[in-house]
Every structure is written in C-alpha cells, then in structure tokens.
Amino acid sequence: MEQIQGGITAAKGFLAAHTAAGIKYQDRADMAMIFSRQPCRVAGVFTSNVVKAAPVVWDKERVETGKEIHAVVINAGIANACTGKEGMNYCKKTAQKAAKTLSISEDSVLLASTGVIGKQLPIERITAGIDKLTEGLSCELSAGTQAAKAIMTTDTKHKEIAVTFEACGVTATIGGMCKGSGMIHPNMCTMLAFLTTDFNISKELLQKALKEDVKETFNMISVDGDTSTNDTLLLLSNGMAGNEELTKEDAQYDSFKLALHTVTEFLAKSMAADGEGATKLLEVRILGAEDKNQAAMLAKSIISSNLVKTAVYGNDANWGRILCAMGYAGVNFIPEQIDLWIESEGDGQLQLVKDGTATDYSEKLATKILSAEQVNVIVDLKIGYETATAWGCDLTHDYIKINADYRS
Amino acid sequence: MEQIQGGITAAKGFLAAHTAAGIKYQDRADMAMIFSRQPCRVAGVFTSNVVKAAPVVWDKERVETGKEIHAVVINAGIANACTGKEGMNYCKKTAQKAAKTLSISEDSVLLASTGVIGKQLPIERITAGIDKLTEGLSCELSAGTQAAKAIMTTDTKHKEIAVTFEACGVTATIGGMCKGSGMIHPNMCTMLAFLTTDFNISKELLQKALKEDVKETFNMISVDGDTSTNDTLLLLSNGMAGNEELTKEDAQYDSFKLALHTVTEFLAKSMAADGEGATKLLEVRILGAEDKNQAAMLAKSIISSNLVKTAVYGNDANWGRILCAMGYAGVNFIPEQIDLWIESEGDGQLQLVKDGTATDYSEKLATKILSAEQVNVIVDLKIGYETATAWGCDLTHDYIKINADYRS
C-alpha cells in the first residue's frame, strides 16, 4: 500500500467538478459533483439522528435498495433539513436535473447537503449550478481537490487522501474527501465524506467493510457532541481497476480493508484536528480494557468532555477531569488501578497517574507536552487486553465565536 | 407555604459557621459547618460517577446504614477525589476532630468537599478550621448565608432559600443552600446541596421524598455535561418542629413534598443560571410527550447541546440546532409534527416552528426574546400528554476562560 497524491479523482474513472452557485456564501465554490464513467456499487452509513435531512432520506433509500450509482451532487450552505415535503421535492428536482444533464437515470444520483437547518434550498441556483458542474467535470487530481474545497463550511482546511494497494492481481486505488467541522460526534459523526475506489468488490462486502471500519474511525471522533441531521458517508466502487469481483473475505479483502482504513483514519483525524475553533488534535488511547465496548466508551467520554477539552486548550495537566469523564462514561472500571500518561511527538511520555493517584510529575514538562499540535492521552485500565482510540480537539474561544456569532 | 428569609439556619435547631482555613483560596471563607442541636435523620443522593470522592464514600455509607447525624463539615478548594487511602484517612481525621470539638460521635459527622481533583487536603488546616467553626456556630440567619458563601468555588452568587409550611398541626420550616457551577450535569448534578428541616418525618419517607424530587429538579439541570466525582445532596431532619413523626404518604406528606420541591427547584434553577460563564438561564419545557422519560430525555438533550447553548449566547434563533439535539437524545418522536416557541417575560411567546418546519417569524423579535435574562423554549411533540422541564445556561467566552485558564 502506498499513499499517493489526490483524493476522489485518484481512482480510475472518477471525475469531479465544483462551482460557485451562490447558495449562501459569496465568492467561493459551494457545490461539487462526483461522476463515475461506469455505474458504481455503493455502500453508505448515515446519521443516527431521528431528525434526518431530506438528502439523507433520499440516499438511504437508494443505497439500501442496491441501486447502481453514477453521480453525487453536494452543496454547502444550506442543509435541507427540517424542510418538510418541499425539501424532499427539491431533492427530486436536483436529481432530475443532474440525470438530464448527465444522461443517466434519476435513481443513480445521490445527494448531500450541509449548512444551516430549516431553510429551503434556492432550487433555481442549484439547477443552474448543475449545468456548470456537468460542464466542468474533470478527471484531473486538482478537480478532486477543488471539490473538497467546495464542500467546506466552517472547515479551515480541505481534507483529501488517496492510496493504492495490490489485490486480486491488480493495483487498485481508493481515495476520499470529507468536511467537518461542527456538529461532529460519533454515531455517525457530523460530516460529509465521499470515498471512491476502482476496486471491483461485491455490494455486500463493500457495505460490510465500511460499516465495520466506521466503528474505529469516523465514529471515534467528536468535536462538540452534537450528532448532525446530515451525516453521510458514501463509498463508491466502479470496478475499473480490472479485477474480477471480490466476493470472499479472504486475504485480498484484508488488503482492501487496510487501504480503506488508512483513508478513513486519515480523514477522521483531519476532521477532529480541524474541529471548530480547535488549536490541537487530542488522541486518547485506552489500553488494558476488558472488552472493545468498554475501551471505546471510555475513550469517547474523555474526548467529549468540555472540561477536558478546555483544560487541553489551556495546556493544563488537569488529569482529574479525565478520570471524572471516564467515571460517567456509563461503563465500569477500577479507578484505584488506573495509570495515565500524556505524550507529544517532541517531548515523549510523562506519567501523571499511577494506581489512581497523582505521580510526582513535573508541571512544567506536562505543560510543554500539552502545548504540542497533537496531544496523546494514554490510559491503562489494567483489567484486560482490549484497546480503543478516539480523536477530538480542544474547546476554545473561537468555538464560541464561530457558533454564537454566525448562524451555521 | 410561604417563602421566608434565610437558608440552612431557618429551621429550628440548626446552627452554621464559616471560616477562612486557607485551603486553596486567599482572603475568603472556604470551610463551613452545619450543626443540629438534636440528632437528625438524613436522606442523601450522591454522584453516579464511577470515580467517587472520599467524602462521598464516607457519607454514602453513613446515610445508607441509617446513622443519626449531628454535623456536616464542608470545604471548598480541594475535592478530595482520586486521593486513594490517604484521602479516606483524611475523612476519618476530619470527622474525628469535629466529633471531639462538638462532643458528638465520629459516625454522626458527614463530610463534603469541592474543588480540584487529585490533590490531598491540607489536613492541619482542616482541623484548625474545625476549631474555629465550632467556636463560630450560630443560629442566626446570617450564619447560614455566610456558610452558603464559604462553599462557593466558581459560583458568582451564593444560593439559599427557606420556606415554612403547615403540616401535622405545626408550622415547619425547610431551608437549603447549594453551590455549582462547573461539572454540572444530571445524574446527579455536580454540586453540593444541603437541606435542613425541623419537620419530624420517618427516615424512609425522607429518603423517598428526596429521591423522587431530585428527578424533577437537580437531575434536570446541566451546565457542561460533566457529572462530577463529588455530587452530594443531603437532607437533614431534626424533628424540632414538634409534630409527631410522619410515617404515612398522606396529605401531610404532600405538603412536605411541595415545600421540599419549592426549595429544590429554586436551588436547581439558581445553579443553572449561575453556570460557569453563563449570561442567561435557559428553561426548556417539553409538552405533549408519550411518557415522562421521553419528555425528560428530550429536554435534557436540548439544554446539554453546545450548539444550542452557543446560539442562545449569540441571541440567535437557530431552532434547527434544537431539533437536531432532540434527534440524538436517544428517544423517538415525530419531527414533522413538532411545534416550537421561544418565550421571555418581557416579550411573550413567538412560534418559530409549526409541524416541523419554519414559521414566518420575525428574526428581530426572536433576537429580542433571546436577549432576556431567562429564555424559555417550549416544544410540543403532539403525541401524548406528559411534560418535563429542564434548566441550563448559555455557553460563553467566559466558560472557556474559567476552565482553560484556571485549574478548578
């Protein structure tokens, strides 16, 4: 496996486009399109929120009934959530327009929206945008990058990655892009993410691989504990790498899964690091757990705690808040047995807690470690052998500014 | 029932004291004592956090075994949590010292601490403080007020209330004090609260009334979603009002419960309003629910959402965030059926949502309503007839400042 340049257009047969449709933002692209030369099998994971945006309802139906997909149309600025029948009608109109301009069937178009809830889409601008997107489709790597920029809302960086891997006798590619960065929380994280691969794999295995992978990547990040109405993760496979369809969970499947995981972990971490107002990435590793669930619940509780997140922002080794957040995670453990370290790339590890109480650590060194761009917290429960890792960010003045001053 | 002046010393036979023991803060009182002339029956509710502070372990044991209680010793500045055997040993030393100076048994002393986690108590200062507290005990109303001030941490206001009520042929009194204001979250809220009554009531009914009441008061507030290691709510009854012991759930019991509820709701709301950095109180009322649990889960999810809290801070009628927070509350409802209003005392009600989508409301009036000191959000699910109310506050720049810049 090897990381290569590019994102959603790295895999064979995938094209992308972007345009400034003027939906909400001025002077920037706010619509993107993904198009595959060949029809795709598709796997999808969607928000668990009871309130589901219209495009989520649209996509879910198509992914579940196993329709072949040719294109995805994405807009930023308005979420098309809480928009009633009109919102669903706009989904239909958008898909119809894309189907017409691309000469594909309406049911082979998926949709995704992100932005403010409760507003109706300016459908005229959307359909005008689709004309421009269709004209602009390109298989260049830069077309993927521009699409990744067009779907941003409060993100400060675009997020994309691609890798190649060997399986079934061919060199296949998987690439992806995503956007965060508020309303980000496990189950499933508040985000839009689009993955494309030319690897030929059955619909069943595609969905299985994605569903399992999400548990350890996108569902292990949190920015603010708010699970959005629009979370959408799509994985499109057009089979153009040329291998025979993979239908068994063999070593070839493992190669695919590893490549997929590399892409999703990178995107998930990028989202956490670029959380609204964030100044640093917080990685929490739980070791020595009895089972996976215990480890995951504890890791997620720590990265979700406002008090932990503000302490990390303040470079304050307030480990008591970490133990406190573990204590209300909803799973049991033995507080008197916990060992805890903080770690950064430059300054190595520092043990703060041994057997549940403070070590005689240097506050100065602790502050130095916490000042790094990525801070790791490692907790050993000393009960069993399972582990879990979760990613979050600090909670800062800018988070308040972004969310109190603007309607996002 | 009538609200009167005072707090924990309003009921007959209760004395209080405060002193500056120099535990962490300078130039302010940081220890308090409650003493009853007659031994008390006691009811208690404690944190659900797996990590329990030493004084919580101490109190829980004594409350559960039904010991009679004479005194409570409270300190602010250090939480005595994650302090291992030494921390438990300091509990014993504190109780022993208080027992000696007050000439009561060691087991009749309860303890409570609040402050930073992981530090050991300066036990010499604590015992010296107990000498001063014992000397300073007074039944004056002002003694209760001073005690309420001594237990504050990041609170900006002290919190106390007292009411009288008629039951069992006597006029009885119930009073209380509490402190917030970070690490405040349901189950049970992160706080210390102490209630005193001279009403004569059985231990069983005392505990039952408190446990039921907490569900609708202290467990319905949230400041930051962090359930602390030290949450303690104690209700002491010394029976000095002169009535015969109440042992039945009759109309007299209802009078007691109503008085109790008046006190606890006032204190719970005061805590939410004085949440760290808060500029306003947010009250969320869910109407038309199928059952109590559904209503309570939805109300709590709304007041706990960082995105709702920042929108309220910014006076932004971003109702989409409210529906979103309901959607991940973990209970079902029908989004397309929801009606939603905001309300303030000065400007009345304004409907923002009808049947799940936006009304044609005035943004100007919405902003005006949201600028009030108390903002109410009313959501009608139109499914059934149950209701629930929860209280929270906005999330502000000062919350970040308080928690990133200081070790609390």
pLDDT, one tens digit per residue, over A275-288 is: 888 999 999 999 99
Q: Which of A154, A164, A190, A232 is catalytic?
A: A190
Phi, psi (deg, nearest 5) at residue B87: -65, -40
pLDDT at A188: 42
Q: Which of B131, B177, B318 is nearest to A405 (CA)?
A: B318
pLDDT at A335: 94
Q: Taking CA atoms, what residue in A is nearest to B356?
A: A82
Say yes or no: A48 contacts chain B, CB-CB below 8 A.
yes
Q: Which of A191, A385, A215, A211 is nearest to A300 (CA)?
A: A215
**pLDDT per residue of chain B (408 residues) written in tens, 0 to 9:** 999 999 999 999 999 999 999 998 889 999 999 999 999 999 999 988 899 999 999 999 999 998 899 999 999 999 999 999 999 999 999 999 999 999 999 999 999 999 888 999 999 999 999 999 999 999 999 999 999 999 998 888 999 999 999 999 999 999 999 998 766 654 444 689 999 999 999 999 999 999 999 999 998 887 666 678 899 999 999 999 999 999 999 999 999 999 999 999 999 999 999 888 899 999 999 999 999 999 999 999 999 998 899 999 999 999 999 999 999 899 999 999 999 999 999 999 999 999 999 999 999 999 999 999 999 999 999 999 999 999 999 999 888 888 886 554
* A14-45 residue pLDDT tens: 999 999 999 988 899 999 999 999 999 999 99
pLDDT at B187: 44
Task: Quote the tokens at residue B5.
Answer: 């002046």
Give chain B positions within 8 Å (CB) of A316.
404, 407
pLDDT at A48: 86
pLDDT at A186: 44
How near does any CA of chain B get to the CA of A233, in Å?
18
Using CB atoms within 10 A of its CB, is residue B352 exposed (0-12), middle (13-18) or buried (19+)?
buried
How near does any CA of chain A get to the CA of B184, in Å?
11
- The predicted model scores a pTM of 0.87
How near does any CA of chain B get to the CA of A182, in Å?
8
Nearest-10 crossing angle of helices B84-102, B54-64: 60
Give chain A positions within 8 Å (CB) of B187.
328
Alpha-carbon torsion B24, B27, B30, B31, what sign?
A: positive
* A84-143 residue pLDDT tens: 999 999 999 999 999 999 999 999 999 999 988 899 999 999 999 999 999 999 999 999
DSSP annotation of A189:
-
pLDDT at A190: 62
**Residue A233, CA distances (Å) to A43, A196, B297 in order:** 8, 11, 28
Q: Which of B50, B339, B342 to mutate to test the interface with A (most CBs of A within 10 A)?
A: B50
How near does any CA of chain B get to the CA of A393, in Å?
13
Using CB atoms within 10 A of its CB, is residue B36 exposed (0-12), middle (13-18) or buried (19+)?
buried
pLDDT at A116: 87
- Separation of alpha carbons B132 and A164, rounded Å: 74
A152: left (phi over 0), alpha (psi -120 to 50) or beta: beta
pLDDT at A187: 45
> Are A183 and B306 a contacting pair, CB within 8 Å?
no
Q: Which of B19, B127, B134, B190 is catalytic?
A: B190
Identify the three-state secondary structure at position A376.
strand
- Separation of alpha carbons B333 and B291, rounded Å: 11
| Amino acid (1-letter code) at residue A281 | L
Q: Which of A32, A82, A394, A400 is nearest to A230 (CA)?
A: A82
pLDDT at A158: 95
DSSP annotation of A138:
B
pLDDT at A406: 59
Say yes or no: B360 contacts chain A, CB-CB below 8 A.
no
Going by pLDDT thresholds of 50, 70 and 90, the confidence category of residue A404 is confident
CA B314 to the chain's CA centroid: 26
Q: Is A190 a catalytic residue?
A: yes
* A166-185 residue pLDDT tens: 999 999 999 999 998 766 65
Q: Taking CA atoms, what residue in A is nearest to B86?
A: A357
Chain A, window 319-358: residues with a beta carbon less than 8 angstroms from a chain B beta carbon: 319-321, 323-329, 332-333, 335-336, 353, 355-358
Contact A82 B353 (CB under 8 A): yes
pLDDT at B275: 85
Cβ–Cβ contacts within 10 Å for residue A223, how many? 31
> Are B174 and B265 a contacting pair, CB within 8 Å?
no
Q: Taking CA atoms, what residue in A is nearest to B397?
A: A397
Chain B, window 218-237: residues with a beta carbon less than 8 angstroms from a chain A beta carbon: 224-229
**Residues shown for chain B:** 408
Q: Considering chain A, what percentage of its residues have pLDDT values greater than 90?
A: 83
DSSP string, B369-402: HHTSSEEEEEEE--S-SEEEEEEEE---HHHHHH
